[in-house]
Amino acid sequence: MSGQTDTSRVVTNPTGEIESRPRKLSRAEKRAIAAKNRLSSPAASVIALLIAALWTVPTLGLLITSFRVESDIQTDGWWNAFARPLFTGYNYVSALETGLGDNFVNTLVITIPAVVIPITLALLAAYAFAWIPFRGRELLFVAVFALQVVPLQVTLIPLLSLYVDLGIDGSFWTVWLSHTMFGLPLAIFLLHNFMKDVPASLVEAARMDGAGHVTVFFKVLLPLLVPAIAAFGVFQFLWVWNDLLIALTFAGGDATPLTSAIADLAGTRNNAWYLLAPGAFLAMAVPLAVFLGLQRFFVRGLLAGSVKG
Amino acid sequence: MTVLTRARRLALLAGGLGLALAASGCATAEEAGVDEGTGAGTGTDVTGAEIDCSQFDQFGDSLDGTEVEVYTSIVTPEDQPFKDTFEPFTECTGITVNYNGTKQFEAQLPVRVQSGNAPDIAFLPQPGLLEQMVSTGEVAAAPEAVAQNVEEHFSEDWRDYGSVDGTLYAAPLGANVKSFVWYSPSAFEEAGYEVPQTWDELIALTDQIVQDNPDTKPWCAGIGSGEATGWPATDWLEDVVLHELGPEVYDQWIAHEIPFNDPRIVAALDRVGSILRNPDYVNGGFGDVASIATTTFQDAGIPITQGNCWLHRQASFYQANWPEGTEVAEDGDVFAFPFPQIGESAGKTVVGGGEFVAAFADRPEVQALQYYLSTPEWANLKAQATGPGWLSANTGLELDNLTSPIDQLAAEQLQDESVTFRFDASDLMPAAVGAAAEWRELTAWIAAGQDTQTTLDNIEAAWPAS
């Protein structure tokens, strides 16, 4: 890391010349510097800003719409709010009056276990696939990974009949179990790859010191895996939070989450569609906060394992 | 890098917020269009209403403490009046009614039925779905008590739509009438226009409006409705087919006994086009003919209140879309007249829609609720609870209980024995036609000026082979 700071200081020298050469740069480092030069040029910055702005415009529009008065929303687009500013928080009040608060809690109740359960199971499975040799390991791993190919839509009706037979339909269990099932193949695959990347010497050294599987897992591997877990956690969190299909099929009645409640928010004949903007913004708030809060983790998690040493 | 972007991001954010704050005005409750209460509270409170409890004795004495699930496509805020009318029922019988509404009803119901998780009672919004559900073998035939009520209180047309192969499965619930043309009585009075009784009078009036008001267009229309864009155009076509060719041809058309592109249907669509595709007649307040395709049906009639448009064909339920404070009455700001008769031979007819109560269980508590929903007593309670915007084809429904004049007019038409009722054709045709090809092709017919014959040929080609 310190080498990187060195070179970056060299490169950002205002004259643009490389003044000092503390050591000979490797080819990879030279390439990195070239890429960095290209990416931090003013033109690239302008383009990046432009993309960022374009990317933000729909969200901004949604935010502005959510605060406009009903008749304005129905008459023209959100950009007219700049010319004719008239804002209100009543849309949020009426959206919440329909009971969105309960659905918000439901979504939390659904999301947290639906993230924790697959990660826990996948960690154990990934450890076994990576560090416990057993017969048919490769075959089983390929089989698990191949499950990703199955579109979850084909499983909806058989799963639901299973749940009905078990007598747990309409409860949170069905949603937790379904999200766990659909999330596990990817989770096992990702975590397995991260675990495999941990140098074998590290694990062997721990073994030599007398550590069993449990100690190796908790003391050696888990601390190294935190970024990977966070990365998958963010993925799974966003997926479960925004999921409508599984929620519609399995979570009825009292377990209805935000997404399906918002789908119904506009009313039977859609004449309350102005409520959709505040509803959507309420639903976005938590994922947005999670993403902004864990952004650094997220990027680090994606990079972890891709760069060695 | 991180530091730079972060600073820029903050600067942008601060700039944006500053701009918004500097330019913002805060709306009052009135400006924001906030209703008093929850927005659905326009009806009377019926939760404490007294009903005759002895009528439920016939379902045995083991009702207390049982539960019935009702699964529907009717969601907030229209669900509250339903829940309110269940309270006197619960009071009498001790049956708890679990109301479960979702707009994904039509997609989810088959999933639930197939996986053995069928609801006790479902409100089916169209007879086609009833037929599909009955074919799964899971729907219970209507109990004797319900059949008697339907016999007594509903017309034959409605009874037939609740039956499959001669067996009554589902009693009708709510109803709406689609054959209406909205107009502004006050504007008509000012200009000295009369409500037209026949198609020729309607066209004459349209021409008169064109002549008198060069700045406005006589008709406004909008067929935009998200993924269902095009359905208001199907209603136009249905109205003309039924009012010109009569119920018999209409039924044949639905049953595909005559092709979708029958020359008579071509002529009917051309008749629709004589208004909807006539640049002199449309699209008041919005623009040219093509703007019909981009205007949402919710907004399409609003120009009438702004004086930019005179006539708008839309169902009775459109009354919910008028801006706050618009008076819906025969001498008010807006009202509707029945879609005028076109041919002498067709007789008096009306196109409409409604829901049907199908049961997937035959437990006594389920039958008790089915029975309750088919009584005139319930229809009257429901009408009181809802206020404007709900009616039923139940002949025991007293018009005085309907607070909105347009609901009264619609109910009068449904109860009038000389008026033939026909269900919305696109809801009865196979989904590939009525909920796909017809929408798509009629949208192209308006937006892209697609030729009438081609349009109907394409719809005919989409009809499933079997």
B294 touching chain A per CB within 8 A = no
Dihedral pair phi/psi, residue A121, rounded to 5°: -65, -40
Residue of A nearest to B1 (CA): A40
B47 occurs within a structural domain? no
Interior/surface letters B121-149, b for 16+ CB within 10 angstroms, e for the rest = bbbbbbbbbbbbbbeeebbbbbbebbbeb
B17 touching chain A per CB within 8 A = no
A262 occurs within a structural domain? yes
The yes-or-no verdict on residue A199 having pLDDT over 90 is no
pLDDT at B192: 94
Q: Are residues B99 and B173 in the same domain?
A: yes
Chain B hits for A96, CB-CB cut-off 8 Å, are none
Higher-scoring residue by pLDDT: B120, A300: B120
Q: How far apart are the first and last CA of chain B?
A: 65
A271 occurs within a structural domain? yes
Tell me which residue has tokens 């972007």. Answer: B5
d(CA A90, CA A69): 8
User: Could you say which of A49, A88, A271 has the minimum Cβ distance to residue B320?
Assistant: A271
B325 touching chain A per CB within 8 A = no
Tell me which residue has tokens 């307040």. Answer: B285
Dihedral pair phi/psi, residue B122, rounded to 5°: -125, 140
Closest-CA distance, A149 to chain B, in angstroms, reads 23
pLDDT at A5: 42
B380 occurs within a structural domain? yes
B6 touching chain A per CB within 8 A = no
What ranges in chain A are assigned the alpha helix state H?
A: 2-11, 27-39, 42-67, 70-75, 80-83, 90-95, 101-131, 137-146, 156-166, 172-197, 200-208, 213-215, 222-242, 245-250, 258-263, 276-303
Residue of A nearest to B34 (CA): A90
Tens of pLDDT, residues A42-60: 888 899 999 999 999 998 9
Domain range for A185 is 93-303
B148 touching chain A per CB within 8 A = no
Q: For position A249, which CATH number holds?
A: 1.10.3720.10
User: Could you say which of B20, B34, B100 has the minimum Cβ distance to residue A252?
Assistant: B100
B287 touching chain A per CB within 8 A = no
B25 occurs within a structural domain? no
Under an 8 A CB cutoff, do B115 and A160 touch?
yes
Domain range for B93 is 53-177+353-421
Q: For position B104, which CATH number holds?
A: 3.40.190.10
A50 occurs within a structural domain? no
CA dihedral A300, A305, A306, B2 (to 10 degrees): 10
Q: Are residues B308 and B205 in the same domain?
A: yes
pLDDT at A4: 43
Q: Are residues B332 and B313 in the same domain?
A: yes
Of B100, B95, B94, nearest to B117 (Cα)?
A: B100
A88 occurs within a structural domain? no
Under an 8 A CB cutoff, do B103 and A264 touch?
yes
Interior/surface letters A177-206, b for 16+ CB within 10 angstroms, e for the rest = bbbbbbbbbbbbbbbbebbeebeeeebeeb
Q: Are residues A215 and A103 in the same domain?
A: yes
Cα B16–Cα A92–Cα A176 angle in degrees, nearest 5: 105
Q: Are residues A143 and A210 in the same domain?
A: yes
pLDDT at B347: 87
Q: What is the pLDDT along chain B (466 residues), one digit of tens a residue?
A: 344 455 455 445 444 444 444 445 666 666 665 544 334 446 888 888 888 999 999 999 889 999 999 999 988 778 889 999 999 999 999 999 999 888 889 888 999 998 888 999 999 998 989 998 999 999 999 999 999 999 999 999 999 999 999 999 999 999 999 999 999 999 999 999 999 999 999 999 999 999 999 999 999 999 998 888 999 999 999 999 999 999 999 999 999 999 999 999 999 999 999 999 999 999 998 999 999 999 999 889 999 999 999 999 999 989 988 988 899 999 999 999 999 989 788 889 999 999 999 999 999 999 999 999 999 999 999 999 998 889 999 999 999 999 899 999 999 999 998 999 999 999 999 888 988 999 999 999 999 999 999 999 999 999 998 6
Of B281, B245, B251, nearest to B266 (Cα)?
A: B245
| Beta carbons within 8 Å of B328's beta carbon, 6+ residues apart | B319, B322, B334, B335, B388, B404, B405, B406
A18 touching chain B per CB within 8 A = no
A58 occurs within a structural domain? no
Closest-CA distance, B98 to chain A, in angstroms, reads 9
CB B314 within 8 A of CB B232: yes
Q: Are residues B376 and B408 in the same domain?
A: yes
Under an 8 A CB cutoff, do B116 and A165 touch?
yes
ipTM above 0.85, yes or no: no
pLDDT at A169: 80
B48 touching chain A per CB within 8 A = no
Closest-CA distance, A265 to chain B, in angstroms, reads 7
d(CA A274, CA A250): 28
Under an 8 A CB cutoff, do B26 and A157 touch?
no
Beta strands in B58-170 (DSSP E): 67-72, 96-101, 121-124, 163-164, 167-168
B308 touching chain A per CB within 8 A = no
Number of Cβ within 10 Å of residue B30's Cβ equals: 10
Residue of A nearest to B23 (CA): A85
Number of domains in chain A: 2
Higher-scoring residue by pLDDT: B11, A297: A297
pLDDT at B309: 94
Residue of A nearest to B30 (CA): A69
Under an 8 A CB cutoff, do B77 and A265 touch?
no
For chains A and B, CB pairs below 8 A equal: 106
Chain A hits for B323, CB-CB cut-off 8 Å, are 71
